[in-house]
Amino acid sequence: MTIHQHVCRTFRGEPFNLGALQGQVLLIVNVASRCGYTAQLGELERLYRSHRDRGLTVLAFPCNQFARQSPETALDFCAFSSSQYGVTFPVMEKVKVNGGGAHPLFVELKRKAPGVMGTGMIKWNFTKFLVARDGRVVRRFSPRESGPALESALEQALDEHFQL
């Protein structure tokens, strides 16, 4: 199964067609509202606005698995991220990213881009996965990684040519 074949839902529980994003560069992030990294929502929005015309889509999946830092519903998270950080990129359903109930998309992302020393676990909120236009998982970023390193990797992925 490719990244684009996974079944996902929006923050309202409506089906979301990942296949329609084939040819886009994706930045898939597990997010939380009460985390020390929550301010990264503003940076993610800045990146999205700067690069969406070149084919970047940021997908945010609220997750409450890390110290219960996102206890609200996905709908409430969407309202929060929009009002506090101006988020306009897609906010998806609330998911688990680890364990037996992990969303299949995150199981696939972790398999294709393991963490430090090959770990399959996501260790905290705001772990980011960069997916190339052809669906290849290019890189995994730790929650601490942002700014120039992230921007540089995005630029490189956006510059790659892809033919359907």
- Joined together, the tokens standing for residue 67 give 């110290």
Written as six digits, the tokens of 123 are 């260790």
Cβ 78 vs Cβ 60: under 8 Å: no
Tell me the longest C-alpha to C-alpha distance in the chain. Answer: 42
Edge-to-edge strand ranges of the sheet holding 25-31: 56-62, 25-31, 128-131, 137-141
35 is catalytic: yes
Of the candidates 8, 35, 63, 78, the residue annotated as catalytic is 35
Residues forming the active site: 35
